[in-house]
Amino acid sequence: MTGPRFATLAVRGSYNHEAAAHNLGSLGEPAYLATAQHFDSAETMRATAAGEREGWVYARRGNPTVGHLEDTVAALEGYQVDAEVSAAVTTTGMAAITLATTPFLSTAVGAKPNIVASPACYGSTVMVFDKRYGDERGVSVRWVDDPLSVDGWERHIDEDTRFLYAESPSNPMVQLVDIPALAELARWAEIPLIIDATLATPALMRPLGLGADIVVHSLTKAAGASGRSMGGAVIARHGLQFRGQPAEMTTNFAGYLRSGPMRDMGSVLSPFNAWTLLADIRELRARVDSMSTSALRVAEYLANRSDVVEVFYPGLPSHRTHHLAKRDMWLVDSGGPGRDAVNRFGFLLGFRPAGGVPAAHRVMDRLDLFWRANNLGQVKSTVTIPAIGTHQQIGGDEPVPSDMVRLSVGLEHTDDLIEDLDQALTRRDVAGRRSTGPSEAMPEIAVDRVE
């Protein structure tokens, strides 16, 4: 037999027949809703706390249910990657981003650290980099003018650069970066390449296999598509080689986070949330396949409408990073004897209706099936306007279009979603005229940072 394939790993994780035998035969991972472990003796406590024997001691250091989720996430992100991989799960996706980046900013390595990043990032990521790191800690944040220009990245790197960071695809413009090219640049500079791959999920793209060193995810999104729990994950290959960084950090980065920063700062996922996320992640491949297939149909439908100015979706040939999506985004295990691998481009897209900001607001308000919410990757389709929602607080030089409507396509029937969009775009007002033109009652909204 070959090793377990992706879908099998998602269903089974690290919970096997032997583990079930120790849990009264339970088919699923038990939820250990406890904050601490009992020990049969002082010596057992000492040895476990010292890491000399198996055990979890205290929930801030670990928990069996949380451990099963970490094993499963590592197996999925490390699938078909020629490296040993470990994961640490966190309370939120933003906690994962903070934990993945903060250790590299130590002043023990140098007094004036800087980071080089794509400006096409989620709004809260920009806030962490600009405000928490830049304004509060004096870290120089160097935003790359064009994330597709490798030369542009290289020009910002010097001996004080601590890491390269990008989202691929990004939220909300769904732009990719050339991960193999940036990985080569990071190796040359002896610094990590950190990729937020939340929108792809490991079902469509695994950046560690493309050369990235560390991957972060918001498990709140497609991995936890029921919408019951928040969570994040940091996944890293073992044996990383970075200049100036201690071996205790680079040998097993995720393990270092669990035993040090997470233990000390307390950003540990609750066992109940880990338990619900384990239930959701089992169907990740099939769910992302279905959602992505629907999203492509929705994007093609919108692109063919005369009352839609622009559509943002990497599956469309018109998208700026379509060539990268065609190269890097594949439904895992879709190829095999007698069948070709298939591209899938994710569940998120955006569009600009004719009529500017007033039209964007009207379309959003008229949608019946889409839920107006600032979340994505759920089984329920959601809609937001990033300029007034996810990216309202961001300042900078490159704007998210203020009239952009962002859609996250869920598991409803695709025809129903398209019909909902059709009625929202074409509904007539009481005077019998189509209401897609500007309205003086709706002011233009100024927002300044890409995504």
Q: Interior CA angle at 110 toward 108 and 112, to 5°? A: 125
Instruction: Supply the pLDDT for residue 450.
Output: 37
Distance from C-alpha of 304 to C-alpha of 308, rounded to nearest angstrom: 8
Distance from C-alpha of 100 to C-alpha of 268, rounded to nearest angstrom: 14
How far does Cα 212 stand from its chain's mean position?
Answer: 14
Residue type, 346: G
CATH code that applies to domain 6-281: 3.40.640.10
Is the distance from CB of 95 to CB of 264 less than 8 angstroms?
A: no
Question: Domain coordinates of the chain in residue numbers?
Answer: 6-281, 284-426
Distances (CA, A) of 254 to 198, 233, 234, 238, 243: 18, 9, 7, 9, 18
Instruction: Supply the pLDDT for residue 438.
Output: 38
Is the distance from CB of 66 to CB of 29 less than 8 angstroms?
A: no
Q: Give the alpha-carbon dihedral of 289, 291, 292, 293, to 10 degrees.
A: 80
Residue 228 sits at φ, ψ, to 5 deg, of -90, -25
| Nearest C-alpha neighbor of 44 from the set 59, 54, 33 | 54
Distance from C-alpha of 436 to C-alpha of 424, rounded to nearest angstrom: 10
* Strand partners of residue 383: 372, 407
Is the distance from CB of 264 to CB of 106 less than 8 angstroms?
A: no
In this structure, what token pair is assigned to residue 386?
A: 């990033």
List, for the chain, all residue ranges whose pLDDT scores fall below the cut of 70: 1, 390-399, 428-451
> What superfamily does domain 284-426 belong to in CATH?
Aspartate Aminotransferase, domain 1 (3.90.1150.10)
Residue type, 106: S
Residue 76 sits at φ, ψ, to 5 deg, of -75, -45
End-to-end Cα separation, the chain, in angstroms:
45
List pLDDT tens digits, range 286-327.
999 999 999 999 999 999 999 999 999 999 999 999 999 999
Instruction: Supply the pLDDT for residue 212.
Output: 98
What is the layout of strands, in order, in the sheet containing 308-312? 308-312, 348-353, 405-408, 382-384, 371-372
Could you tell me the pTM of the whole model? 0.92
